[in-house]
Structure 1
């Protein structure tokens, strides 16, 4: 038996499921294979960022996912005396959702799996394990094992293959790339229970030199503990009920009454592949990078991979961009994944010390730092976490309007830009998502209004009037939507004034959009399907910015089908 598809995804973990949903929504033909007989049903990831929530919104699965999440998941780092060293409780909802959520991964993964039933163009095959890859330059042919015998195989032919099989990825091994980084020898035992005996919400990271620990309150009455094992304690001790009871003695009144989901030993890893692409074969998620759990970024980094790669694969397969567009996936995602690994490793080094002298110095330093409101706010608002910023790839330099690179800070000869409050470039950063109004609805989130593909938006202008008929024809072939942002008080006027231009008029309800364009000194923004700013410019420069953006995106709009 053999199958033919556009994209073969190996691994039905969260990254493979997310990528399949996005490609399914974009109308591409997908086969998703998984070596197991069913999805993993025990908890793993427990923290979800607003960026990932926004990706689930793009997939159209928010209503189904929300019951398995709890918003505003506060994290506190405490020392052995119960003193708070650091609080992580970011405020605001710049991307349309609370910044942090606790969640039940198996149930969210199941939502993504069940969501694939919406698409006739997506096929899911369990008990299918990737066993061989051939890339002949025009297509990929995969050998897939379907049973225990040597002859139990099938062939799947695809335009592209994406390996999402986790840290032991067969695909990464076939690519021959190095998996650089560290795997510290420190072991931790994780204990998940269904009947939370504490009823205390949120997250506590215990930097206790007696034994570092983690205690996490999760939705549906689930609680997680993690305890560091000492070098003299063998991993097998996790099977000893007495040992586990000793671990929990200071945490729960009666550990014998716990309904345990699982308990196991794991080691943290901080590794990243030296390349995410080889020809028609790519890797994503844990196959491309592994990171410690401290910042809850493993699941979220994988979602960022899927969100970045999905629209690019769809563009190439639709003939809207050349194959070179896929090179930007590696360029854009690897630096940020590495930054998150480094941050997670650093955070672990703060939690793990068991030397009381080291812990004393850490605690003393934290008390001094917490005396400064600015320092406290820096950590509380999670400003230490590097937000994804794409300085190279599908971006346009806002000053020179050159394609492919965008500096973090701007210097412009134009007074309007020079006077901007925010001197940082908005290009390569994710765009905000406030609630807005249109002729059809009020108080809806921006992404639900503008749709899941390219957007060209202007403040106080009709973008259709800023572009030539030829430019508008290119954008139409690209599938881009033209949007006119205006104050809500001006929306009625704009709907009449711009009638017939094809632009959607969007009213700014709370001033968020006006503030964004004001502080950045820009009048037009080009938004990628993953909601990142590809280009931003003054209104008069929109045609030049468009030409550069099409080059940066390897667009082939002159010949789009």
Structure 2
């Protein structure tokens, strides 16, 4: 028997487990990934990559490696059985720094995620390790795995001790079954066959969702000349029928000349699922990705939803491992991620219903779509992907903007007023002029900016991957007392001043003697000014995952920080292995 220890043991080497391990490694902690297979899955699965996921890959230092296997601005068209375009999804916004939608080749991307672990000497990926046992011993976990060779022969039993374990091993998750949590939702009986071919015989880069009453289909242009088709199987068509080349040629014949000449890379059948675990945590054990939720494929959110899990969980685990927060912080993982995953499942299931309508329902749908396309507001609802629910954390590591209450955040100020509550006097005029929406719980934008050291860089390259306190047009230290400055030092909170580019040089000189370092960021595009101009705040605190944890008027900074300390269960004592360091001189 072999025994070793680590900080986090990750069960499953899919994209979620690999991303999680990279994010843990890049923040200086140890992770071990145990994978039952002898190698990564080599057949294509996911095909859609969102800007949110790319932001995470950038944080992990992997985007440059992954980018060659992607194509930006993936346009999706919903068409009916005659080829009429019912809706076009072509979002052109880049509010988070990247095009909203990309096509990608998953096996090639997964290889880069695995190779990224080689950067960290204390992090490793172990193939041929089937997890068969799991124990939570209160202050650590013990994971038992059987190591098997390429022929499937048992060669050793491996025991791993770790502070935490995360199950990322897919829908049949051993970890979820060990936790004993319900897996709620539906698994429609509809089966689909997917076919990937090389040397795309169509040659168009777009995606077509074929809402054809005769047989719904999907046609997708992917990087490296790959074309994917997916066809729905009727109830009277056995799965084995897909093994018949003549049947497969009959499916493809309406879409491509001479289907017998296609170079097939992969062919598989699958069933859509829409399920979510009742809880994502039990003690020191967590679920992420398909182990926590199964997502229908319609909107390409299975891969991306799993990456959102890894993004959320990684910074919280590393904060606890570093002694920056208590274990209570980890309770916010389920609170923040489960609702959004459930909402995404609902939207995907609804999209599937639209796709699979019969002749009568399809005719009604087509007429409705034609009418909606005549109204610009409704047309943009589909074009700009506004039907996709963006993650918004109403509970967890957030501070309500109206009341500065820790642990919750209303989406707007209307609820406060409806219930007879009054907004704090200084806040009311700004809400009246800027609007009723609060940015707390939403992801912060990422424009290109300038600093004293860099020009035209993405904002995350300036703020980094940990906490940020930023103000618009002012010195953030002007609003912080000694207790606040100690919290800033203890938790490595980066202080940032957003400025019009025309004012940057002045601010760099003005803040040179500030009591803590302030990074002055030049708003060269005007995007940051626009953001603050329509929101009732002059100060924001950004979490390590780039979500807004708190937003307030600048003079409310001490109250907001005190509330945030409670919401994030932040430690107030110095870390055991880290004595307080004197604040360095200010720098731009």
**TM-score, normalised with respect to structure 1:** 0.98
Moved more, 112-121 or 42-51: 112-121
Whether 1:452 aligns to 2:453 is no
Change (3 A) 1:479 1:49: same
Deviation of 1:558 (Å)? 2.1
Matched with 2:108 is 107
Contact 1:11 1:164 in 2 (8 A): yes
Alpha-carbon distance in 2 for matches of 1:435, 1:513: 10
CA distance in 1, matches of 2:27, 2:155: 35
CA distance in 2, matches of 1:255, 1:81: 21
Given that 1:47 and 1:100 are in contact with CA atoms closer than 8 Å, whether structure 2 keeps it comes out as yes
Contact 2:49 2:104 in 1 (8 A): yes
Q: CA deviation at 1:418?
A: 2.2
**C-alpha distance in structure 1 between counterparts of 2:570 and 2:251, whole Å:** 58
> For residues 494 and 347 of structure 1, what CA distance do their matches in structure 2 show?
50
* Alignment of structure 1 residues 150-549 onto 2, 5 Å: 152-353=156-357, 355-410=358-413, 412=423, 413=425, 414-501=427-514, 502-549=517-564
After the TM superposition, which of the residue ranges 52-61 and 286-295 deviates more from structure 2? 52-61
The equivalent of 2:20 in structure 1 is 19
CA deviation string 1:516-542 (max 9, x = no partner) = 111102110000000000000000000
Give yes or no for contact 2:438–2:536 (8 Å, CA) kept in 1.
no
Q: 1:255: Cα distance to partner?
A: 1.2
Shift of residue 57, structure 1, vs aligned partner: 0.9
SS for the counterpart of 1:158 is: strand
**In structure 2, what is the equivalent of residue 57 of structure 1?**
58
RMSD, aligned CA: 1.1
Separation in structure 2 between the aligned mates of residue 140 and residue 158 of structure 1, nearest angstrom: 5
- Secondary structure, aligned partner of 1:520: coil
| Preserved contact between residue 396 and residue 403 of structure 1 (Cα < 8 Å) | yes
**Cα-to-partner distance string for 1:114-166 (whole Å, 9 max, x where unaligned):** 11111112111111111100101111001111025667311000000000000
Runs of 4+ in 1 over 6 A off after TM superposition: none
Distance in structure 2 (CA, Å) of the matches to 1:415 and 1:135: 49
SS at structure 2 position matched to 1:340: helix
In structure 1, distance between residues paired with 2:48 and 2:503: 40
Looking at structure 2, the residues matched to 298 and 487 of structure 1 have their Cα atoms a distance apart, in angstroms, of 39
Structure 1 gaps, min length 5: none
For structure 2, the residue ranges without an aligned partner over 5 or more in a row are: 417-422, 577-588
Q: Distance in 2 between matches of 1:10 and 1:352?
A: 36
Do the aligned residues in 1 keep the contact of 2:216 with 2:232 (CA within 8 Å)?
yes
User: How far, CA to CA, are the matches of 1:369 and 1:491 in structure 2?
Assistant: 46
Aligned counterpart in structure 1 of residue 567 of structure 2, from 545, 552, 560: 552
3-state SS of 1:424 partner: coil
Calculate the TM-score normalised by the size of structure 2.
Answer: 0.94
Aligned to 2:80: 79
Q: How many Å separate the matches in 2 of 1:129 and 1:62?
A: 30
Q: Retained in 2: the 8 A contact 1:9–1:162?
A: yes
Q: What SS class does the counterpart of residue 143 from structure 1 fall into?
A: strand
Aligned with 1:544: secondary structure? helix
| Mapped contact 1:474–1:558 kept (Cα < 8 A) | no
* 1:87-115 alpha-carbon deviations (Å, 9 max, x no partner): 11112100000000001111111111111
Contact 1:27 1:121 (8 Å CA) reproduced: no
Q: CA deviation at 1:416?
A: 4.1
SS of residue matched to 2:573: helix
Question: Could you say what secondary structure the match of 2:18 adopts?
Answer: helix
User: Which residue pairs with 1:7 in the alignment?
Assistant: 8
Distance 2:505 2:553 in 1: 24
Give the CA deviation at 1:331.
0.2
CA distance in 2, matches of 1:43, 1:150: 29
Does the 8 A contact of 1:398 with 1:427 survive in 2? yes
What is the rounded CA distance, in whole Å, between the counterparts of 1:356 and 1:402 in structure 2?
A: 53
1:358/1:193 Cα in 2 relative to 1: closer, same or farther (>3 Å)?
same
Distance 2:365 2:507 in 1: 58
2:47·2:103 contact (CA, 8 Å) conserved in 1? yes
